[in-house]
Structure 1
Amino acid sequence: MPTPPSTEAIRSAPKVLLHDHLDGGLRPQTVIELAESSGHQGLPTTDPTELGAWFRDNANSGSLVRYLEGFAHTCGVMQDEAALVRVAAEAAQDLAADGVVYAEIRYAPELFTDKGLSLEQAVEAVQEGFRQGEAESGNRIKVGTLLCAMRQNDGWQRIADLVVKYRDAGVVGFDIAGPELGFPATRELSAFEYLRRENAHFTIHAGEADGPESIHQAVQYCGAERLGHGVRIAEDIKDGDVGHLAAYVRDRRIALEMCPTSNVQTGAVGSLAEHPIKQLADLGFRITVNTDNRLMSDCSLTGELAAVVGQFGFGWDDLRGFAVNAAKAAFLPLDERRALIQDVIEPGYAALAK
Structure 2
Amino acid sequence: MKALLSVEPGGPETLRLSELPAPVAGPGQLLVRVKACAINYPDVLIIEDKYQFKPARPFAPGGEIAGVVERVGEGVAGWSEGDRLIAMLGHGGLAEQVVVSAAAALRLPPERSFVEGSALILTYATSIHALLDRGRLQAGQILLVLGAAGGVGLAAVELGLAFGARVIGAVSSEEKAAVVRAAGAEAIVYPRGPFDKESSKALARQFKDAVGPAGADLVYDPVGGDYAEPALRATGWEGRYLVVGFPAGIPRLPLNLTLLKSCDVCGVFWGAFAARDPDANARHIETLFWLWDEGKIAPKVSRTWPLAQAGEAIAHMAARQAVGKLAVTID
Q: TM-score, normalised by structure 1?
A: 0.30
Larger Rg: 2
Higher strand fraction (1 or 2): 2
Q: TM-score, normalised by structure 2?
A: 0.31
